[in-house]
Structure 1
Amino acid sequence: MAQNLVPNWSFEDSAYCTTANNPILVAPPWFSANYATPDVYSMELTEPCAVAMDTTEFIGIVCYQGPFDGIRFAGAHLWMQDHELKEYMEVQLTAPLEAGHTYTVSMEISLTECYRYAIDRVGAYFAQDTVFDPDLVDMGALPVTPQAQFHDPGFYTNTTDWIHLEGHDRGRWR
């Protein structure tokens, strides 16, 4: 039987909810792997610890996007014109990966309606310890190569549905 090793995978747990500047910090145990600020979005309009997703309004560049599961999801900017901007979401797995075992990596992604640019790749990186680098002064790319990579040469452009990405590997993701 498959076991999900990702805690708070749908960002629903806000037991330690605060109004911190970095909303990903309010979806414990998730945190940002650099100084960028990925966001937690919520369908709960009175939720003080997430960006409210009101289906009747657009606020700045925040467009409506319903969650894949539950009432919350996390979002990130993965590219910005004229310089490299990467927002990373990091979490410690509930158990270490073991050599020789086959693991499945999956995620759901979606592009909001008001964004003009889409990505053609996304990935997951596995390490023994955090990849947070306190000396990295900007919000650029971390010096890592994801072991699990998903690529669509036509870009991930679906703004209506969540796209399921899934890959399997034996032993490399540890």
Structure 2
Amino acid sequence: MAKLTMTVNGKTVSAEAEGRTLLSSFLREGLGMTGTHVGCDTSQCGACVVHVDGQAVKSCTVLAHDVAGADVRTIEGMANPDGSLGKIQQAFQDHHGLQCGFCTPGMVMSAAALLAENPKPTEAEVRHHLEGNICRCTGYHNIVKAVLAASGQDVSKIAAE
């Protein structure tokens, strides 16, 4: 066991972890930040996406020790300072981009990474960017609509599904 220190959602945090501890486990078990979900442990589903130094990563494939000292942002860090939903989270709620909610944290984090790179993506670009995130409930249409809405684009003519 070794003590790890990193910045998570703007705050410096420290906790003990074994060398084999995955970032997803460190966040959930070491820091009690359960918003990052683990769906597969094999990098297939994308439910565990977080940002490390501004890059979207699947936290179930990264060792916590490898990101010691890094700046990590989780779904908990996507809310506004007053605790209200952030722009992307609100768009997911407004446009019914979730059902069971299990994939939602990873989808929101992936969407945030896309919008940071490309503030006005096309529908095709959103669909391509979210290929690494699996949702078993929604069929993706409303997720894509939510991402487009979060980018400030008019989605009023996109039919609801």
TM-score in terms of structure 2 length: 0.29
Task: Report which of the two has the higher share of strand.
Answer: 1
TM-score in terms of structure 1 length: 0.28
Task: Report which of the two has the higher share of helix.
Answer: 2
